Amino acid sequence: MKKLFLFISLIGLITDAQSQDYVITNFGVGTDSTKLNTSAIQHVIDSVNANGGGTIVIPKGVFLTGALFFKPNTKLRLMEGAVLKGSDNIDDYPLIPSRMEGKSILYYAALINAYYIDGFTITGPGTINGNGLNFWKAFWQHREDMKKIGKSSTNLEVHRPRLLFIWGCNNVTIQGVHLRDAGFWTTHLYQCNNVLIENCDIRSPYKPVPAPSTDGVDIDVCKKVTIRSCYISVNDDAVCIKGGKGPDAHKRSENGSVEDILVENCTFGESHGTLTLGSESIHAKNITVRNCKVDNNCPVLRIKMRPDTYQVFENITIENITGKCGTIMTLNPWKQFFNMEGSTEKPFGIVRNISFSNINVNCKTVADIEGNANDQVSDILFKEVNATAETPLFKTKYPGVKVEHVIVNGTALTIN
């Protein structure tokens, strides 16, 4: 009986420890917004982990930091008026094994990093600000310098940190937080399951200096991700499905499918695509976008067909969408950084079972659906769509694309 009592008491102590709050300014972190606090904040995280866990609390104020690494049983809360501001010196982000653009490579740590922490949470209402301006300027200057000598540049040549990188975590919650001005991708989920991103405000600018490749949410080899009641406007894709690229990507263990994704009750400002698949994606299925508002000039659904990668995109539902967009659906070849890596394979894509219903938008054109020569596209249905279009173009070469009760500029649409 004594042993049982001691065991129950120990469980209670661990639970109490994990529920405790640790305000960083109570543990040696200063309030000078110009002073780099990386070591001091990391010490708090490490100490909380060593003492059984708890929530690291960022109080009101601006706290400058480089890469932070959260540990098991640690969480992050940002209070009203709190700002975790990223250093704009890449030396404050270590070069470590990571995942970028569909490849497992050495890359720079993000501002906030969580590896294999089940139950990890980030809550607001404060802000995580990537302070990306100098990274963006360096990126555009490098691209201009390469253009002058007749060369192109990739996204990785100017070293920039992501805002959040969450790897191998289950039961993740990101809730009520403001995510701003990432140096690179804003939120990168890799090999995670059961993720909720809710009531978040995710932004990066188009002007005066565009924030390149600042995707809102990148979902990379993940299952069961819900994005709910968020606002997203970034200078790249808003929600992007990833998972690997290259002629052997479907055979490599670090790659994989993205499954069971729900995006609902969100508002999307400007981006390159509200939902985008394909730039680094081999298999995506069971994706639903519903009850969302769009206010932008980009596709609601954008599918990039890579001729150097085998791809399967299936079971995608887009329903109850209102507002202003560029197109409702775009499906086109995507040859950015094309690389067959010496392979003699002949990759192709399969796109099937996509439905649009109850769509009421103002748009530039309605749809542009034409992939690579060997791609297989079938079972795409537009139903109960009312579009006011600058140009009433609905382009497709696939007999498997159907329309039912689609009205464009007041006239029923028919396609051959």
Residue 7 has pLDDT above 50, yes or no: no
How does pLDDT run across 111-120, given as a tens digit for each residue?
999 999 999 9
How does pLDDT run across 370-407, given as a tens digit for each residue?
999 999 999 999 999 999 999 999 999 999 999 999 99
Question: Which pLDDT value is given to residue 9?
Answer: 35
Q: Which long-range contacts (CB under 8 A, 24 or more apart) does 102-106 make?
A: 102/220, 102/242, 102/243, 102/244, 102/245, 102/246, 102/249, 102/255, 102/279, 102/280, 102/281, 103/244, 103/245, 103/246, 104/254
Residue 416 has pLDDT above 70, yes or no: no
Q: Which stretches of 135-270 are assigned E, i.e. beta strand?
A: 164-167, 170-175, 178-180, 187-190, 193-198, 201-203, 217-220, 223-228, 231-233, 237-242, 258-264, 267-268
Query: In the structure, what pLDDT confidence band is assigned to residue 341 with cuts at 50, 70 and 90?
Result: confident
Cβ atoms of residues 132 and 182 within 8 Å:
yes
Amino acid symbol at 243: G
Query: In the structure, what pLDDT confidence band is assigned to residue 218 with cuts at 50, 70 and 90?
Result: very high
Higher pLDDT, 4 or 256: 256
Q: Average pLDDT, stretch 54-76?
A: 98
Question: Which pLDDT value is given to residue 11?
Answer: 36
Half-sphere exposure of 221 (CA within 13 A, CB side): 22
Sign of CA dihedral 279, 280, 285, 289: negative
Burial readout 25-56 (b: 16 or more C-beta within 10 A, e: otherwise): beeebeeeeeeebbebbbebbeebbeeebbbb
How does pLDDT run across 18-42, given as a tens digit for each residue?
679 999 999 999 999 999 999 999 9
Question: Per DSSP, what are the bridge partners of residue 104?
Answer: 99
Q: Average pLDDT, stretch 163-178?
A: 98
Q: Average pLDDT, stretch 49-63?
A: 98
Tokens of 194: 């059961």
Residue 337 has pLDDT above 90, yes or no: no
Whole-angstrom Cα distance, residue 36 to residue 59?
A: 16
Whole-angstrom Cα distance, residue 284 to residue 311?
A: 8
What CA–CA distances, in Å, run from 3 to 7, 8, 10, 17, 22?
A: 6, 9, 10, 21, 31
- 3 state DSSP class of 385: strand
DSSP 8-state class, residue 36? B
Residue 150 has pLDDT above 90, yes or no: yes
Tokens of 363: 């748009």
Q: Which CATH superfamily is domain 20-412 in?
A: Single-stranded right-handed beta-helix, Pectin lyase-like (2.160.20.10)
Nearest Cα to Cα of residue 156 among 214, 107, 92:
107
Question: Which pLDDT value is given to residue 338?
Answer: 85
Question: Which pLDDT value is given to residue 18?
Answer: 63
Around Cβ 144, how many Cβ atoms within 10 Å?
Answer: 10
Residue 6 has pLDDT above 70, yes or no: no
Whole-angstrom Cα distance, residue 250 to residue 257?
A: 9
Residue by residue, DSSP assigns 255-270 as ---EEEEEEES-EE-S
